[in-house]
A and B are shown apart, each in its own frame.
Chain A
Amino acid sequence: MRQNSITTIVPVKKDKIELLLKLLDGIKTDLDLGNPPEFEKLNVIHYARWVVIDYGKSWIDDLTPRIPKLVFVVDFDGDVDVFLKSFCSDTSDILDKVYGFCEGFPEGEKRTPESRFSFLKNNVVKDAAVYIGAPGRTVQQIKDENNLRNFIRNYLDSRDWKDVSAHTIHKKIKEEVLKKEEFLFLRKKTKMPGINWLGLVFLGLVLIVLLPLIIVWLLIVHFFYERKDVNFTKKRSGLDSAYLDELEKYEDWKNQNQFTQLVDMKEGKVRLITIKAMFALSKELIKFVFVQGKLMGIPTIHFAKWVMFEDNSRVLFFSNFDGSWQQYLGDFIDNSGWGLTGIFSNTKVFPKTNFLLTGGAYDEEHFLAWSRNSELITNVWYSAYPDLSIKNVNNNTKIRVQLMKSLSERKAAKFLKLI
């Protein structure tokens, strides 16, 4: 089943912001204590978050007066409308509480599944690009396949396999597993998504055809824009320590973490076209190549996405990932520096770039500082399977797929390595 994702952005009612923050804080505390929001029972939500934006100081000293807004991001299984309908009827309590503090939410008796539905639907912001680390896997499938792996692991640990052939072990596991009712889902065939080489070749050809245009474009960006940029020059030691303390309160409690980032677009059509082109390219690559758990070489992201809002003047980036963002980010610079630079150099106050090829994300110290500096506090963050890494999720599917095949001795030995 396909995964979808929506983002809604709604203004918070005047004078209600503190109440909203308090409510969100309560939801977070409940989550920390092991009491997830009621939407967990839908069993289709992978990740969800609420983030309050435009409340507090702007890090780029933006003087535009802004109304605080509530951002909601949810990654789920299946069709958008189907999801929203059940979300608005089966788990409406939390929705009513949260959006009671927001502009435009139906009041009193006007609150019906339909009115909530159209409220959310009307406030949906279009995705610029969405990445999924385990495309096609539903929440239930991820849980089932993890149970399967744990069961097999325990079964293997329960006896000695000395001198037993891999082929036989594979067969024995299969017999054992198929006896169990909980693994009936195995009857449904599935496979790991593969790289679409044809698509990739086509994309390559398009890029080659466009190459002269791209070169001219880079020259224009360099000589007419990059040189006039206001650059980010702080190092990590120069960041606001109290704000980092605040961010850290929300981090590193589990093996997974969240990251929310808000940046503003540089002015002008050229920057807008550049970022749109980068998103278009990312989308194609996500479709053709980044289907096996790595986004631009980053092997730790479950779901990530970019959205542009307020007339394409601002960009939000959301990520759900394994490990610690600040510690890990440096490791991705080599592989994904081009993509990160290509996208974010079009936003205000980014580390200095040259022809969009050097500097920027490759300027490690300033890039890490920039990333941290433009990060927002994620008020509520929900993960359906916080103990699994994206590598675990994909490995579990591989185990499932291989388990159901008939394997040669060599392939069976390879299969056993996965467990």
Chain B
Amino acid sequence: MTKLELEDIQGYIIRGYAHMMYSRFVYIKITNRKAAKKWLAKSWASMTTAVHVHDKSKISSTHLNIAFTHNGLGALGMYEENLNAFSREFRQGMITPHRTRLLGDSGNSDPIMWNWGNENIKTQNPEITDQEDKTIHLCLMIFGNDKGSVDDIEKDKIVCLDYYKELESQFEENGLKELFFIDGVTQPENKEHFGFRDGISQPIIEGSGRVGSKDDVVKAGEFLFGYQNEFGVYPDTPLVVKDQGNLNFLASDAGGSGLKDIGRNGSFLVMRQLEQDVNGFWTFMNEKTKHPDGTINVEESLKLGAKIVGRWQSGAPITLFPDKDPGVISDINDFGYSKFDPDGLKCPFGSHLRRSNPRDSVDDHGVKESLKLSKQHRIIRRARLYGQVFEGSPTNKNPKGEVGLLFACFNADISRQFEFLQYTWGKLPKVKELYNDPDPIIGVKENPEPGEKQNFTIQDCPVNRTISDLPRFITVKGGGYFFFPSISTLRYLATI
């Protein structure tokens, strides 16, 4: 069995740092290449690794990880030839016309409307001078936890921001310029703004030392370069095709090309800032389930919400608890659809979770084949909330100001993993036997074509029911594809 080199892997891909309730994602531009490389040459040692610390008291109160954009690697001075060795998705970023089509980023989610991540569109404008160039080069992920308290966001915030200030004070001398930051928090019950417990089902990387259901154990090469993936081949890792820097830091390509591997023990990190329309979400659920006299039917509204999401607000899977929310916070994750719910009578085929991770029930395939196909499209999710910490419900749906999710996920093949989930299983309205049903959370178009229907079908007895005219509940506000390097690649980057 594969054994991972945990000391060389940045920690955030293996662990979600859920106990560190406050985090700051700082997006940075490199203004001085030399200074930035000098900084890298020593700061790699500050990066949190995936090594498991058994004694909890010895876990650091702050964590730090780093990821680069393609522009960022260029800003460090990586040769064109080596930059081109990265996968095309990463090279191009999230905002090419074709990719925008796949991801469904149109209307108010059109990259042109984004707050960040669309600099490439903007810099094509000749009127923008170098000084205004806000191209993101790297992202520092800073986490804090007050060790004297439990689940106290405010105290964690102090620790996180103290650490941030310490780092920030050296940005200038290190050739870094902060462009902006987004603060991400977790909520004690890990609920997102619509009020649903999130992040329950995560793939476990084979060899990471973590334990769980064998259906969740996925080959390391699905997430980390340098290891075999679910197809038994090595992922398309970036290799040094033109010698540059101190190659002794890098291992050789496991694929046997004889070239040095920049990717090994690293991954791609997808980030999307998704604004959530809490009011829109619950107003829609309320409207579709209201009593004949027009008043809100809370129970039915919650149930429709659960059907659309695939779990109750507590996190309990609707597949196992079809009638009502058991109420207690749930982490139940060891279940399949083929045995408990082959016809979608409990968890509809079109629900967000069933289509994003169909487990043992992909289209009309058998259990074994389905599990295999599901594993070919898993991602490791690392979402954090931004804006007011707010727990939506049918009767509580008006947060103060903008709220949303700073969605992040790790994968080695952006096309076959993140983009596949977003397009093939999310945006296309044809999964299973469905006709006009996009993913109700991530696949609905804000402005459908004339005559185009956007439905959610609830499989039921004696007949299926149609929930029609789904509106879009999320708006993309920014995003990008990042390279999440290994510790040794960080050291290497300091030498290029």
Q: How far is the CA of A391 from the CA of B468 in the complex (A)?
A: 21
Contact A237 B86 (CB under 8 A): yes
Q: Does B430 contact A (CB under 8 A)?
A: yes
Size class of the contact patch on chain B: 35 or more
Q: Does A389 contact B (CB under 8 A)?
A: yes
Query: Which partner residue on chain B sits nearest A392 by CB separation?
Result: B435
Query: Which partner residue on chain B sits nearest A417 by CB separation?
Result: B343
Contact A364 B88 (CB under 8 A): no
B430 — which chain A residues lie within 8 A by C-beta? 255, 322-323, 389, 391-392
Take A252-B101, A391-B430 as given contacts and tell me if A169 and B463 are in contact as well, using a CB distance cutoff of 8 Å.
yes
Query: Which partner residue on chain B sits nearest A168 by CB separation?
Result: B462
Contact B234 A241 (CB under 8 A): no
Q: Does B419 contact A (CB under 8 A)?
A: yes
Q: Is the interface of A mostly helix, strand, loop or mixed?
A: helix
**Cβ-defined partner of B424 (8 Å) among A164, A238, A324:** A324
Contact B464 A156 (CB under 8 A): yes
A239 — which chain B residues lie within 8 A by C-beta? 88
A245 — which chain B residues lie within 8 A by C-beta? 96, 98
Contact A252 B423 (CB under 8 A): yes
Q: Does A263 contact B (CB under 8 A)?
A: no
A237 — which chain B residues lie within 8 A by C-beta? 84-88, 91, 236, 238
CB distance from B360 to the nearest CB of A (A): 15
CB distance from A354 to the nearest CB of B (A): 14
Contact A249 B462 (CB under 8 A): no
Q: Does B428 contact A (CB under 8 A)?
A: yes
CB distance from B413 to the nearest CB of A (A): 9
CB distance from B203 to the nearest CB of A (A): 17
Interface centre among B232, B236, B462, by most chain A C-beta atoms within 10 angstroms, is B462
Contact A395 B429 (CB under 8 A): no
Take A157-B466, A331-B376, A392-B435 as given contacts and tell me if A324 and B102 are in contact as well, using a CB distance cutoff of 8 Å.
yes
Q: Does A202 contact B (CB under 8 A)?
A: no
Contact B231 A362 (CB under 8 A): yes
CB distance from B255 to the nearest CB of A (A): 9
Report the number of A-B residue pairs with Cβ-Cβ less than 8 Å: 106
Take A334-B372, A364-B233 as given contacts and tell me if A413 and B461 are in contact as well, using a CB distance cutoff of 8 Å.
yes
Q: Does B334 contact A (CB under 8 A)?
A: no
Residues 62-104 of chain A, each 1 if its beta carbon lies under 8 Å from chain B, else 0: 0000000000000000000000000000000000000000000
A326 — which chain B residues lie within 8 A by C-beta? 415
Query: Which partner residue on chain A sits nearest B238 by CB separation?
Result: A237
Contact B463 A419 (CB under 8 A): yes
Contact B88 A165 (CB under 8 A): no
Contact B98 A299 (CB under 8 A): no
Contact A251 B98 (CB under 8 A): yes
CB distance from A401 to the nearest CB of B (A): 16
Q: How far is the CA of A235 from the CA of B88 in the complex (A)?
A: 11
Q: How far is the CA of A413 from the CA of B424 in the complex (A)?
A: 30
Q: Does A333 contact B (CB under 8 A)?
A: yes
A395 — which chain B residues lie within 8 A by C-beta? 433
Q: How far is the CA of A241 from the CA of B83 in the complex (A)?
A: 13
**Cβ-defined partner of B462 (8 Å) among A161, A238, A391:** A161
Q: Does B363 contact A (CB under 8 A)?
A: yes
Q: Does B420 contact A (CB under 8 A)?
A: yes
Residues 68-90 of chain B, each 1 if its beta carbon lies under 8 Å from chain A, else 0: 00000000000000001111100
Q: Does B369 contact A (CB under 8 A)?
A: yes
Q: Does B373 contact A (CB under 8 A)?
A: yes
Contact A299 B364 (CB under 8 A): yes
Q: How far is the CA of A22 from the CA of B405 in the complex (A)?
A: 46
Q: How far is the CA of A334 from the CA of B462 in the complex (A)?
A: 37
Chain A residues 314 to 368 lying within 8 A of chain B, measured CB to CB, are: 322-324, 326-328, 330-331, 333-335, 362-366
A391 — which chain B residues lie within 8 A by C-beta? 430, 433
Q: Does B330 contact A (CB under 8 A)?
A: no
Query: Which partner residue on chain B sits nearest A294 by CB separation?
Result: B364
Q: How far is the CA of A253 from the CA of B416 in the complex (A)?
A: 19
B279 — which chain A residues lie within 8 A by C-beta? none
Chain B residues 138 to 197 lying within 8 A of chain A, measured CB to CB, are: none
Residues 442-470 of chain B, each 1 if its beta carbon lies under 8 Å from chain A, else 0: 00000000000000000101111110100
Query: Which partner residue on chain B sits nearest A247 by CB separation?
Result: B98
Chain A residues 115 to 171 lying within 8 A of chain B, measured CB to CB, are: 149, 153, 156-157, 161, 164-166, 169
Interface centre among B86, B231, B376, B468, by most chain A C-beta atoms within 10 angstroms, is B231
Contact A331 B373 (CB under 8 A): yes
Q: Does B235 contact A (CB under 8 A)?
A: yes
Residues 209-241 of chain B, each 1 if its beta carbon lies under 8 Å from chain A, else 0: 000000000000000000001011111101000
Q: Does A276 contact B (CB under 8 A)?
A: no
Query: Which partner residue on chain A sits nearest B466 by CB separation?
Result: A157
CB distance from B44 to the nearest CB of A (A): 25
A153 — which chain B residues lie within 8 A by C-beta? 466
Q: Does A51 contact B (CB under 8 A)?
A: no
Query: Which partner residue on chain B sits nearest A329 by CB separation?
Result: B416
Q: How far is the CA of A365 from the CA of B412 in the complex (A)?
A: 12
**A-B complex: 6 closest residue pairs judged by Cβ atoms:** A364-B231, A248-B98, A389-B430, A235-B236, A327-B420, A237-B87
Partner-A contacts on B (CB < 8 A): 84-88, 91-92, 96-98, 101-102, 229, 231-236, 238, 343, 363-364, 369, 372-373, 376, 415-416, 419-420, 423-424, 428-430, 433, 435, 459, 461-466, 468
Q: A245-B98, A333-B231, A364-B233 are in contact. List 13 more A-B contacts (CB 8 A).
A: A157-B468, A169-B462, A169-B463, A241-B91, A248-B98, A252-B423, A324-B424, A327-B416, A331-B373, A334-B372, A334-B373, A362-B232, A389-B430
